[in-house]
Amino acid sequence: MGLKKKPVKGMKDILPAEMQMRDYVTGLIKDTYKSFGFSPIETPCVEHIENLCSKQGGDNEKLIFKIMKRGEKLNLEKAESEADLTDSGLRYDLTVPLSRFYSNNANTLPSPFKALQIGSVWRADQPQRGRFRQFVQCDIDILGEAGCLAEIELILATTTLLGKLNFSDFKVRINERRILKAMAAYSGFHEEQFDTVFIILDKMDKIGWNGVKTELLEAGFDQNKVEDYVSMFTGMEHAEDRLSYLEEKLAGILEDGVIDNLRTIRGSVEATRACRFDLVFDPTLVRGMSYYTGTIFEIEMEQFGSSVAGGGRYDRMIGKFTGKDVPACGFSIGFERIITILMEQGFEIPGASAKKAYLIEKKMPAEKLCQVLKEAKAERENGTQVLVTLMNKNKKFQKEQLMKEGYTEFREFFSR
């Protein structure tokens, strides 16, 4: 039986044309984020299973690719549970590894620390357009900054990058977990019920308010509480200023300064943004990760039909490692989704160096071959990318294939 030539389900081979796009976007990401003061770091792709299963990653913890113990540590005969077989796993995001990294290296890092991390992550998810089981994430995080300057910088850096990729008129949605909790508390829900309420609220854009109301009632919640909760959102739709509406409605329940923080973020971003986009307060934005403690945000693009970036504040995660909480906030770009959009749009890499192909006849004398190689060397020194390759019998097909990889000029060299 022959070996399998197709990738494992949810993984993919990357062809040269896409790889060129990925390299370009990766370089642009690094240059843009470095200009905002972010420092590149790298963490291992394998993490301790205790860290990955620490109830920080929401549903992603159900999608971990776990790694079996090795050598003497692995005893199949005495294993009574899965915990006896595994001690590590492939990371499902970059935030948990970053928190461990910071906890381990904080004494040697500046404060606040602005981290840039690009790397593959793995989730045993159902593959679909723009979603794979192995995919690249690109995160920027600010650790040690408690004020809203962190959110402002993260939003500005991310939107500046998208502007450089010719994206505009997208939507940045922003909300606050403390507002979500205050609205639930105002309606009479108990704190232990919040996660269930938020999971249902997160479906609003798919099932509408009637659907949200129905699911809350089916979950066993009191009808009066459900009515009060949903009416707060629907009433907000007619408010001239949603933040002022909530400020008045949640007085005495919502923590002081939360609304002012959102106003500062919105005003600062709108005054200094580098490209055209809408920044909107969306009280229905939830985001699935249970580690978020404050501001949360997402970026939506019509070209993809869903979010292409997201993040928020997670002030209590590092404390899980050190026993002392550290303010933390991050923004992650859906790298694969951005690449998918650019490839579908036929995006052309600006300023790409010229690519020439030298097609040489087989059995060319050594002296003439050296002459061709010297010419190629001279062109490369002038910044031109030169491929030297043997000429195929079907030159037309060969050139067509090379043109798909960006080669625009061809020179043919013969023995005579």
Residue 39 predicted with pLDDT over 90 = yes
Query: What is the reported pLDDT for 399?
Result: 94
Q: What is the pLDDT of residue 272?
A: 95
pLDDT attached to residue 7: 92
The b/e string for 218-235 (b: 16+ C-beta within 10 A; e otherwise) is eeebeeebbeebbebbee
Look at 86 and 352; give whichever has higher pLDDT: 86
Please tell me the predicted confidence (pLDDT) of residue 248. 93
Domain ranges, ordered by start, for the chain: 16-345, 355-413
Q: What is the mean pLDDT of residues 359-383?
A: 92
pLDDT (0 to 100) of residue 76:
62
What does the pLDDT average to over 23-41? 97
pLDDT tier at 350, thresholds 50, 70, 90: confident
Report the candidate in 245, 278, 277 with the shortest Cα–Cα distance to residue 259: 245
Predicted confidence (pLDDT) per residue in 165-176, tens digit: 999 889 999 999
Give the residue-averaged pLDDT of 325-332. Answer: 96
CATH, range 16-345: 3.30.930.10
Question: Does residue 162 surpass a pLDDT of 70?
Answer: yes
Q: Please report which confidence band the pLDDT of residue 415 belongs to, taking 50, 70 and 90 as the band edges.
A: confident
Out of 7-11, 226-230, 278-282, 299-303, pick the least confident.
299-303
Taking only the tens place, the pLDDT of each residue in 329-343 is: 999 998 998 998 899
| DSSP code string of 374-398 | HHHHHHHHTT-EEEEEEPPS-HHHH
Strand order of the β-sheet with 113-122 is 39-40, 113-122, 134-143, 328-333, 306-313, 295-301, 170-176, 277-281
SS3 292: coil
How does residue 127 score in pLDDT terms, banded at 50, 70 and 90? Answer: confident
What average pLDDT score do residues 240-246 get? 93
Q: What is the mean pLDDT of residues 286-309?
A: 86
CA-to-CA distance for 85 and 78, rounded, in angstroms? 10
pLDDT, residue 57, reads 67
Q: Count CA within 13 A, CB hemisphere, residue 137.
A: 28
Is the pLDDT at 404 greater than 90? The verdict is no
Average pLDDT over residues 283-304: 87
Q: In angstroms, how far is CA 354 from the centroid of its own chain?
A: 32
Rounded to 10 deg, the angle between the 177-186 and 194-201 helix axes is: 110
CB atoms within 10 A of CB 85: 16
| Burial class of residue 184 (count of CB atoms within 10 Å of its CB; 0-12, 13-18, 19+) | buried
Residue 155 pLDDT exceeds 90: yes
Helices 242-249 and 177-186: crossing angle in degrees, nearest 10, is 50
- The per-residue pLDDT for 75 is 63
Closest CA to 282 of 295, 293, 272: 295
**Average pLDDT value for residue range 154-164:** 96
**Inter-residue contact 52 to 64 (CB < 8 Å):** yes
On the question of pLDDT at 72 being above 70, the answer is no
- The more confident residue out of 266 and 82 is 266
Contact in structure between 167 and 347 (CB atoms under 8 Å): no
HSE-CB for 346 with a 13 A CA cutoff: 1
Looking at residue 79, its pLDDT comes to 59
On average, the pLDDT of the chain sits at 91
Question: Using 50, 70 and 90 to split pLDDT, how confident is the model at 238?
Answer: confident
- Phi and psi at 16, nearest 5°, equal -55, -40
In this prediction, residue 145 has a pLDDT band, given cuts at 50, 70 and 90, of very high
Sheet holding 385-390, edge to edge: 385-390, 355-360, 409-413
Mean pLDDT of 32-60: 90
The closest of 132, 140, 86 to 114, measured between CA atoms, is 140
User: How confident is the model at residue 177, as a pLDDT?
Assistant: 95
Give 135's strand partners.
Answer: 121
Distance CA 371, CA 413 (A): 10
Mean pLDDT of 40-51: 95
Q: Are the beta carbons of 288 and 55 closer than 8 angstroms?
A: no
Under 8 Å CB-to-CB from 151, ≥6 apart: which residues? 261, 265, 295, 297, 313, 329
CA 304 – CA 263 distance, rounded (Å) = 29
The model's confidence at residue 118, banded by pLDDT at 50, 70 and 90, is very high
What gap in Å lies between CA 276 and CA 249, rounded to an integer?
32
- Angstrom CA distances, 275 to 27, 164, 337, stand at 20, 9, 20
pLDDT at 402: 92
